[in-house]
Amino acid sequence: LSEGRTVRAALEALAAGVAVEHLRGDVRPLATEVDAMRAAAARDDLHEFITHDVGFHRLVVEASGNRTLADLWEALHVELRTTITLIRWPGDLDAVAEGHVPVLEALAAGDGDAAATEMRRHIESWTSERRLP
Amino acid sequence: VSVSRTVLREQVRELLLERILQHHYQPGERLVETRIATELGVSQAPVREALRELEQLRFVESAPFRGSWVREVSDEELAEVYPIRAALEEVAARAAAERLGGAVGPLEREIAAMAKAKDTHDQVDHDVRFHRLIVEASGNARLLEIWSGLQVEARTAITAVRTGLDRKEVAARHKPIVEALRRGDPDAAGREIRSHVEDFGRMFLERRANDS
């Protein structure tokens, strides 16, 4: 697992675990991002896909209510890194979009532990599937 | 940047932070670079750098042509860093458990120094060094960079003053982490450092409740 991704997985797992308290099961904005990812995948529109992929993660981080965490996450430049990754290792965008669903479901169920676990798995597995350094 | 320059900047930052936390400076009060430099008998550069660091910590705000002033910081904001440190240091300790090969001598020396610290500044110094050693031992440069950006030194100073814990107790609270690292147990090391940091976050907010 790459250095940056390990850090990102830890920070976003933290965010997802706390976000359930603030979301209170209302995950509509997150579901909208997943739908937008699916639509962009269908059109093979990489730029649009990344916008909504990063949008999904940003919403989770913001829902943590921890501004220090949100500032730190922005400093990771997730958008840029996602773009680089998807350009260097192009893959099945549909599968990437669907990879967000377990996180969404755990957040909708209001299960903080599950949301944290699923977020960590989502970020880490995505790497191992692509055999990234 | 020379060593003495770095130390000077840290000393200025600590002094200003202390004055803000003890309400010697009031929220909204202007912090004039030249005036502070004259008062402390230093050049403007370390004062400017200290103010910039305090701005990153959100204790100070600034605007062009208006200079810098003290910002009101809530305890909830200050407490935000604990879960972040807990998450990052858990990653660090897990990796360190595998990479240290049980060599925890330097960590034990920091604990001993914490217990014998001559003052709060010295205690905080060794406390932060202990945590930095673990983050460094993770071998994850990105993690170290992000952790360093959290201004752990200044924040630990706040926690130390706020919780007012006996330095022997603070030192003892680091021991379970070292034991797990000595055994090379990543799960235990991650768990111990996480709860260690989270405990201090809790004590930080509880102490506030007791004060008011």
User: Average pLDDT over chain A, rounded to whole?
Assistant: 90
Q: What's the average model confidence in pLDDT over B32-52?
A: 94
Could you tell me if B62 and B68 are in contact, meaning their C-beta atoms sit under 8 angstroms apart? yes
Please tell me the predicted confidence (pLDDT) of residue B8: 87
Query: Any idea what DSSP says for residue A1?
Result: -
Please tell me the predicted confidence (pLDDT) of residue B137: 98
**Residue matched to tokens 């405990």:** B199
pLDDT digits (tens, 9 = 90+) for B129-146: 999 999 999 999 999 999
> Of the given ranges (A120-129, B18-27, B152-161), which has the lowest mean pLDDT?
A120-129
| Res A131 pLDDT > 50 | no
Sign of CA dihedral A60, A66, A68, A69: negative
| Res A4 pLDDT > 70 | yes
Query: Any idea what DSSP says for residue A25?
Result: T
Would the CB atoms of A7 and B143 count as touching at under 8 Å?
yes
Q: How many C-beta atoms lie closer than 10 Å to residue B133's C-beta? A: 17
The percent of residues above 70 in pLDDT, for chain B, comes to 96
For helices B141-148 and B81-99, give the axis angle rounded to 10 degrees. Answer: 150
Helix (H), strand (E), coil (C) string for A74-133: HCCCHHHHHHHHHHHCCCCHHHHHHCCHHHHHHHHCCCHHHHHHHHHHHHHHHHHHCCCC
Q: How many C-beta atoms lie closer than 10 Å to residue B122's C-beta? A: 14
| Res B171 pLDDT > 50 | yes
| Res B211 pLDDT > 70 | no
Would the CB atoms of A6 and B91 count as touching at under 8 Å?
yes
| Res B49 pLDDT > 70 | yes
The percent of residues above 90 in pLDDT, for chain B, comes to 67
Residue B84 touches chain A, beta carbons under 8 Å: yes
Q: Name the amino acid, one letter, at A17.
A: G
Could you tell me if B16 and B50 are in contact, meaning their C-beta atoms sit under 8 angstroms apart? yes
pLDDT digits (tens, 9 = 90+) for B57-69: 788 999 998 999 9
Write down the ipTM of this complex.
0.89
Classify burial at B115, counting beta carbons within 10 Å of its beta carbon; exposed 0-12, middle 13-18, buried 19 or more.
middle
Residue A92, Ramachandran bin (φ over 0: left; ψ between -120 and 50: alpha; else beta): beta
Residue B91 touches chain A, beta carbons under 8 Å: yes
Would the CB atoms of B84 and A68 count as touching at under 8 Å?
yes
| Res B174 pLDDT > 50 | yes
pLDDT digits (tens, 9 = 90+) for A76-119: 888 888 888 888 877 789 999 999 999 999 999 999 999 999 99
Give the minimum alpha-carbon distance from B201 to chain A in angstroms, rounded to a whole number: 14
Give the minimum alpha-carbon distance from B203 to chain A in angstroms, rounded to a whole number: 18
Residue B7 touches chain A, beta carbons under 8 Å: no
Closest to B90 in 3D by CA, of B184, B180, B187: B187
The secondary structure of chain B as a DSSP string is --HHHHHHHHHHHHHHHHHHHTTSSPTT-EE-HHHHHHHHT--HHHHHHHHHHHHHTTSEEEETTTEEEEPP--HHHHHTHHHHHHHHHHHHHHHHHHHSTT--HHHHHHHHHHHT-SSHHHHHHHHHHHHHHHHHHTT-HHHHHHHHTT-HHHHHHHHHHHH---HHHHHHTTHHHHHHHHHT-HHHHHHHHHHHHHHHHHHHHHHHHHH-
In this prediction the pTM is 0.85
Q: Are strands B67-70 and B30-31 parallel, antiparallel or unpaired?
A: antiparallel
Please tell me the predicted confidence (pLDDT) of residue A132: 47
Residue B81 touches chain A, beta carbons under 8 Å: yes
Q: Name the amino acid, one letter, at B153.
A: E
Please tell me the predicted confidence (pLDDT) of residue B209: 57
Would the CB atoms of B87 and A11 count as touching at under 8 Å?
yes
Question: Kind and range of the H or E element at A44?
Answer: none
